[in-house]
């Protein structure tokens, strides 16, 4: 498919790189990008050849500056309440689509990662940050509530409720150093090493059992909301039994899985 606002390339067998591609607009999300991202993530549900996805932003200015307000203001004033609600819901559910994607997502973020761009980073499974990255839950800075685009779900789970309150109520920026100290980042590297560091992590995961990757992502996401230890264990037991049975069927009755 020919994309207009995003780029997608299979860099290596099993590893795809998705690039937000509106560099002149800080990769801000326009209506067209929203539609293309909906399609992209939907296609990944049935993509058995891709095991890991690296998410990045094109250009030097930043990862993603959130919603393109200029583009939005051309559309939203004409929307009735029900149409605006649908628009809001579609934007927000891009983060849900990322969580539903079976492939682990490695976010390689640099420069501005604001609003929906911040949420894209939070919805990813692993975050590699350039030293110049700056995060902001900027929703409250433009007169809206600070809880938007799944930020109120992801951020407290990533950095704890105490700091999440501060970030969302003030709209203040988080630096790469602060994000790493709070446990939000896996790596912080110089800008020139950003993509290769993300690719190295993707290569390590790509060496694993693809079904194991999928079930591990699923288990972590499900257990963030598990009612308790028993529910978490039940899910893990199911996954491991499935993988062992699959290994036995594929190896003449001998499982390659050792406990």
pLDDT value at position 243? Answer: 86
* Beta strands 15-20 and 6-12, pairing class: antiparallel
pLDDT bracket for residue 248 (50, 70, 90): low
Write down the pTM of the prediction.
0.92
Q: Are 61 and 112 in contact (CB under 8 A)?
A: yes
Q: Are 116 and 29 in contact (CB under 8 A)?
A: yes
Lowest average pLDDT, out of 18-27, 200-209, 232-241, goes to 232-241
**Percentage of residues in the chain with pLDDT exceeding 90?**
83
Looking at the chain, the whole-number percentage of residues with pLDDT higher than 70 is 95
Q: Is 98 helix (H, G, I), strand (E, B) or coil?
A: helix
The angle, 0 to 180 degrees and rounded to 10, between the axes of the packed helices 81-100 and 116-123 is 30
pLDDT in tens, 169-193: 999 999 999 999 999 999 999 999 9
Q: In this model, does residue 208 exceed pLDDT 80?
A: yes
Q: Distance between CA atoms of 56 and 15, rounded to whole angstroms?
A: 13
SS3 115: coil
pLDDT at residue 159 greater than cutoff 90 = yes
Which of helix, strand or coil describes residue 209?
Answer: coil
- Residue range 82-132, pLDDT digits in tens: 999 999 999 999 999 999 999 999 999 999 999 999 999 999 999 999 999
Q: How confident is the model at residue 253 (pLDDT cuts 50, 70, 90)?
A: very low
Give me the pLDDT at residue 257, please. 38
pLDDT confidence of 250, banded at 50, 70, 90?
low
The answer on pLDDT for 232 being more than 60 is: yes
Q: How far apart are CA 220 and CA 218, in angstroms?
A: 6
pLDDT, the chain, mean: 93
């Amino acid at each position: 498919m020919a994309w207009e606002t995003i780029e997608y390339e299979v860099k290596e067998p099993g590893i795809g790189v998705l690039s937000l591609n509106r560099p002149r607009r800080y990769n801000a999300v326009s209506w067209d990008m929203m539609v293309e991202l909906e399609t992209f993530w939907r296609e990944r549900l049935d993509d058995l050849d891709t095991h890991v996805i690296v998410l990045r932003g094109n250009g030097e200015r930043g990862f993603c500056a959130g919603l393109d307000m200029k583009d939005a203001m051309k559309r939203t004033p004409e929307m009735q309440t029900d149409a605006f609600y649908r628009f809001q819901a579609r934007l927000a559910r891009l983060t849900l689509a990322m969580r539903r994607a079976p492939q682990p997502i490695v976010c390689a973020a640099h420069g501005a990662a604001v609003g929906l761009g911040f949420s894209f980073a939070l919805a990813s499974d692993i975050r590699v940050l350039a030293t110049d990255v700056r995060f902001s839950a900027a929703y409250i800075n433009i007169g809206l509530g600070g809880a938007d685009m799944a930020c109120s779900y992801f951020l407290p789970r990533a950095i704890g409720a105490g700091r999440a309150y501060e970030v969302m109520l003030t709209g203040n920026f988080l630096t790469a150093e602060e994000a790493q100290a709070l446990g939000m980042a896996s790596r912080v590297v110089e800008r020139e090493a950003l993509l290769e560091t993300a690719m190295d992590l993707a290569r390590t995961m790509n060496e694993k059992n693809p079904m194991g990757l999928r079930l591990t992502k699923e288990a972590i996401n499900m257990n963030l909301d598990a009612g308790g230890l028993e529910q978490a264990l039940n899910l893990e037991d199911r996954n491991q039994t499935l993988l062992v049975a699959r290994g036995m069927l594929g190896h003449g009755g001998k499982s390659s899985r050792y406990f």
